[in-house]
Chains A and B, each alone.
Chain A
Amino acid sequence: MRAYSPSNWKHTGVVLLCLLPGLGLIILLIGTVISMAVAQSVGYFNFSGPSEFSLIYWQKQLASPFLHRSVLYSAKISLLSSLISVGLAYMFAMWLRRPFPGSTMLGGLLKAPMMVPGLVAAFLLLNVIAFHGFVNEFLLWTNIISKPLRMQNDSFGTAVIFLQVWKQMPFALLVLIGPVQSIHNEIFDAARDLGASAWTRFRKIVLPLTLTAMQAALILVFIRAAGDFSFQVIVGPREVSSMAQYMYTVQRLYGEWNEAAVVAVVLMTMSLTGALLLAAVSQFLVTGRRR
């Protein structure tokens, strides 16, 4: 520990002043918003009626089959989206590890979906899979089917997962490509020389060495997918809501701020624990069984 001299106090002051406008604002606003949600979920800051501590909103929501279904549904969508996105991102990262003719253009094309807003992406997918979409048109034109297929709002959520992967895979790729490229070529050569197959090289060398980045990518995609609203509303199944959608419905349709707050807290808890659990499991799978 260094001794606290006046210049150290001055230094601390400068640091605090610097952090205030950026980090300070973030903590103030997001902190207040989270506190607001937690407080409203237990009956404070009521818009109607008395504000007092009450667990009734939690009791109501925890008993609700809709909440259960949307927690499971959102967890499923997030899990599948993050696994598929990170898996595909690894594939592309390995492929683009060493530059080859066209690799720059390929990298650019792969990143293109990041620049397309989610709502537009959903609309574009609708155009492809809708009743009158490209796929149906094509299948009709080639006489494979005689009547258009119904593909949007499928009950599993395939279209939502597809859109999540389309949108999130570039982010995962962005996180993974640096660490994958930073593994020295000679490390791969050494592993080959010692008899490791392509899969073993990936399993025993790439995965452990890029574990942190992989966990970051999994967490990132899981949390983004867990909070999804727009994909779900546009192409998601009609019979079940995503958590964000459910939360919004509870608040807007029924005006239940406190119950919406319960859903918000459950959503935050689910996305955080789910993401951390995913990171922990991946750590165990990669480093846990070495042999």
Chain B
Amino acid sequence: MRRSKLNILLVAILVIVLVLWLAVPFGMALLWSLVDPSKAWSYPDLLPQKLSFVRWTEMWETTNLALAMGHSYTLAPIVAVCTLILAAPTAYAFARLDFHGKTAAQMLSLLPLVVPEFVTALFFTSLLYKLGIYAKFPAIVLGHIVLFLPYAIRILTVSFAQVRQDLIDAARDLGASPWARFSSAFLPVLKPGILAALIIVFIQSIEEFAISFVVGSPDFTTIPTILYSYLGDNFIRPNAAVVSLILVVPNIILLLIFERLLKSNGAVTVGGKG
């Protein structure tokens, strides 16, 4: 009884802290992005004197933000699909095949997470120079794929492991063709995993900074590299606020859709697991 009351209090405090933690910073970002350039928001004003969408239109028209967004949103789906296709066979082997050195192989698949991203980015660039490859778009696609393969492999391994052998056997016993076997025994269980891998990789690719920045500089921009250019030494707060919101808001919407999809797919998974 006492414990539960204490919990309610603690939860309430934490929710308030998190609201301050998330809502206040994002609210301020939103305010900053709406500051009208004609009336600067500076000490001692508590709130901006004038709000407008001027910054947004200005950013869109005068900077290469549109180009960067185009880059990011072409990169991400290509990376997501390629990563998924390349990860699937390895995940299948990890989940359903028996072989010597499986643990070692699984550890090795985490390699991209262990090497610092900037080291990967820098010496990947050096490798590209040595090979005389100057096409930045495919180079970044390759870099992203390798960087995010561990996530996709991990997610799909769990999915493949959930496929029940008795269902596959039953399908074979009933004379199902390989495709029928795949679509009846594998696909229903794999679907949430495939979806999860696609969305996680998509979001990661949109957010990725190190490779896009090092390989892409100076001319190839993505949303995070644009954001970076407005932070740091050359700090332009309203512009950074605009880019931050452009970077974050679609991701949050995507994650909400993803949660919704996973929930409605839950029934399929449970049915599949029996």
A and B touch in the complex (CB under 8 A): yes
The interface of chain A, by Cβ under 8 A from chain B, is 11-12, 14-15, 17-23, 25-27, 29-30, 32-34, 36-37, 40, 45, 47, 95, 100-103, 105-106, 109-110, 112, 115-120, 122-128, 131-134, 137, 140-141, 148, 220, 223, 226-227, 229-230, 233-234, 243-244, 247-248, 251, 257, 260-261, 264, 267-268, 271-272
Do the beta carbons of A26 and B93 come within 8 Å of each other?
no
Do the beta carbons of B228 and A22 come within 8 Å of each other?
no
Q: Is B130 on the interface with A (CB-CB < 8 A)? A: yes
**Candidate in B97, B120, B122, B241 with the most chain A CB atoms within 10 angstroms:** B122
A-B contact pairs, 10 of them (CB 8 A): A15-B99, A23-B109, A105-B15, A117-B224, A131-B43, A133-B28, A148-B43, A230-B209, A244-B116, A268-B116
Closest A residue, CB atoms, query B106 = A23
List, in ascending order, chain A residues with CB within 8 A of B113's CB: 220, 223
A284→B25 CA distance, assembly (Å) = 41
Q: Is B168 on the interface with A (CB-CB < 8 A)? A: no
Residues from 70 to 117 in B contacting A, C-beta threshold 8 Å: 85-93, 97, 99, 105, 108-109, 111-117
A101→B12 CA distance, assembly (Å) = 11
Q: Is B22 on the interface with A (CB-CB < 8 A)? A: yes
Do the beta carbons of B248 and A22 come within 8 Å of each other?
no
A122→B240 CA distance, assembly (Å) = 11
Do the beta carbons of B91 and A227 come within 8 Å of each other?
no
Do the beta carbons of B25 and A264 come within 8 Å of each other?
no
B41 to chain A minimum Cβ distance, whole angstroms, is 8
A83 to chain B minimum Cβ distance, whole angstroms, is 19
Do the beta carbons of A33 and B251 come within 8 Å of each other?
no
Q: Which of B49-57, B144-152, B184-192 contacts A (4 or more CB under 8 A)?
A: B144-152
Do the beta carbons of A227 and B28 come within 8 Å of each other?
no
A281 to chain B minimum Cβ distance, whole angstroms, is 19
Do the beta carbons of B232 and A127 come within 8 Å of each other?
no
Q: A22-B90, A25-B86 are in contact. List 5 more A-B contacts (CB 8 A).
A: A26-B109, A40-B123, A106-B14, A115-B252, A272-B114
| Count of residues in B whose CB is under 8 Å from the partner chain | 77
List, in ascending order, chain B residues with CB within 8 A of A11's CB: 97, 99
B143 to chain A minimum Cβ distance, whole angstroms, is 8
B83 to chain A minimum Cβ distance, whole angstroms, is 9
Do the beta carbons of B26 and A22 come within 8 Å of each other?
no
Do the beta carbons of A47 and B129 come within 8 Å of each other?
yes
Do the beta carbons of B22 and A29 come within 8 Å of each other?
no
Do the beta carbons of B120 and A22 come within 8 Å of each other?
no
List, in ascending order, chain A residues with CB within 8 A of B85's CB: 21
B8 to chain A minimum Cβ distance, whole angstroms, is 7
Q: Is B65 on the interface with A (CB-CB < 8 A)? A: no
List, in ascending order, chain A residues with CB within 8 A of B159's CB: none
B139 to chain A minimum Cβ distance, whole angstroms, is 11
Among A109, A126, A251, the residue within 8 A (CB) of B18 is A109
Do the beta carbons of B28 and A128 come within 8 Å of each other?
yes
List, in ascending order, chain B residues with CB within 8 A of A100's CB: 4, 7, 11
List, in ascending order, chain B residues with CB within 8 A of A26's CB: 108-109, 111-112, 146, 149-150
